[in-house]
Amino acid sequence: MSIALRPFRPGDDQLVVDLWNGSLVRDPISVSVFRRQTLLNPNFDAAGCLIADASDGAAAGFVLAFAPRSQRLHSGAIGAGRIVGLGVLSEYRRHGLGTQLLEAALDYLKERGCVRVSVAAHEYYAAGVDSVAYAEGIGFLTKRGFQQVGQATAMGRLLYDLEWPEEIRAAERRLATDGIAVIHFEPQQTQALAAYFAAEFPDWIEFFARKLDARHDLDDMVIAVTKDGEVVGYCQHLDTDHIGPFGVAAAYRNRGIGSVMLYRLLDRMREKGFRFAWFGETGRARPYYERAGFFVTRTYTLLKRDL
């Protein structure tokens, strides 16, 4: 069987998604998601999205690699490449195609000045490589020079039984006494929110703008605001039942602001008919989310390799 690798061409959107869903079966995506998160990513380059065409005329696999050209939207540092996705359809495996695709992607990244490469992490497709679903893939990568450098944890909770614990209500009252209100975002707070992003989490403004562009409800965004109008916290319903980003200004942490924001957002999601909510990566905050009723839904292996 002969295989020819070629770069992505206009109109290949559905083809790549079919290859993705046929090989990375635990993480299916839609064409609209692929266009929004890959084709519109400022780091997308057709030469970094390779499709393997088999001699029988069918597409057999793909690889998607990013060489960061900007620091936007979790793109990573310049020089730190990323393998976003790599998959081979089951009927074409065991012929060296995965190795061929991987080596071509690594060559692409090296040619563009990358000195190291990670797999999957922080593309908002997945926080890493699912440790259970893709155990074979992890073995494949470690045999080819990748090292396991850590784990990421995704967590979720059911919303059927959502109730505010008394300590969270008490924190809300205490914050009100201190002049801090946790409310749903309103348009007149745009400038104050932009200042918060600039000072605390600069790349988050893109997630906020995406919500506005998609004409999502403004109550999908919860903010903490002082009596002087300063925004000191932000929590967002990203899409479907996915939450994030979520954080509090450094000077205002450990006062219960995050917990009140989280319950306010979960409450609104429940009112809208959502019965589940999840975070893609919780890191060291796992005990915090466990106290709020979240449980581990997936664990991801973080893989890196020097080039």
> What is the per-residue DSSP string for 63-130?
EEEE--SS--TT---TTEEEEEEEEE-GGG-SSSHHHHHHHHHHHHHHHTT-SEEEESTTSSS-SSEE
Which of the four pLDDT bands, split at 50, 70 and 90, describes residue 73? very low
| Residue 295 lies inside a defined structural domain of this protein | no
Distance of CA 307 to CAs 79, 86, 102, 277, Å? 10, 18, 12, 38
Q: Are 12 and 109 members of one domain?
A: yes
3-class DSSP state of 302:
strand
- Per-residue pLDDT of 132-179, as tens digits, reads 999 999 999 999 999 999 999 999 999 999 999 999 999 999 999 999
Q: Are 148 and 187 members of one domain?
A: no
In the prediction, which pLDDT does 186 show?
95
Quick check: 75 pLDDT over 60? no
Q: Which domain holds residue 194?
A: 161-274
Quick check: 71 pLDDT over 60? no
Q: Are 167 and 112 members of one domain?
A: no
In the prediction, which pLDDT does 207 show?
86
In the prediction, which pLDDT does 297 show?
93
Q: Are 170 and 225 members of one domain?
A: yes
Query: In this structure, are residues 102 and 86 in contact, taking their beta carbons and an 8 Å threshold?
Result: yes
Compute the C-alpha angle 155/159/161, nearest 5°.
120
| Residue 288 lies inside a defined structural domain of this protein | no
Q: Give the chain's mean pLDDT.
A: 92
Residues 6+ apart with CB under 8 A from 2: 54, 55
| Residue 121 lies inside a defined structural domain of this protein | yes
The count of residues in the chain is: 307
Which of the four pLDDT bands, split at 50, 70 and 90, describes residue 231? very high
Q: What is the CATH number of the domain that holds 176?
A: 3.40.630.30
In the prediction, which pLDDT does 69 show?
78
| Residue 207 lies inside a defined structural domain of this protein | yes
Q: Are 135 and 242 members of one domain?
A: no
Compute the C-alpha angle 145/151/155, nearest 5°.
145
Query: In this structure, are residues 72 and 206 in contact, taking their beta carbons and an 8 Å threshold?
Result: yes
Which of the four pLDDT bands, split at 50, 70 and 90, describes residue 280? confident
Q: CA gyration radius for the chain?
A: 21
Number of domains within the chain: 2
Nearest of 54, 60, 61, 65 to residue 107 by alpha carbon: 65
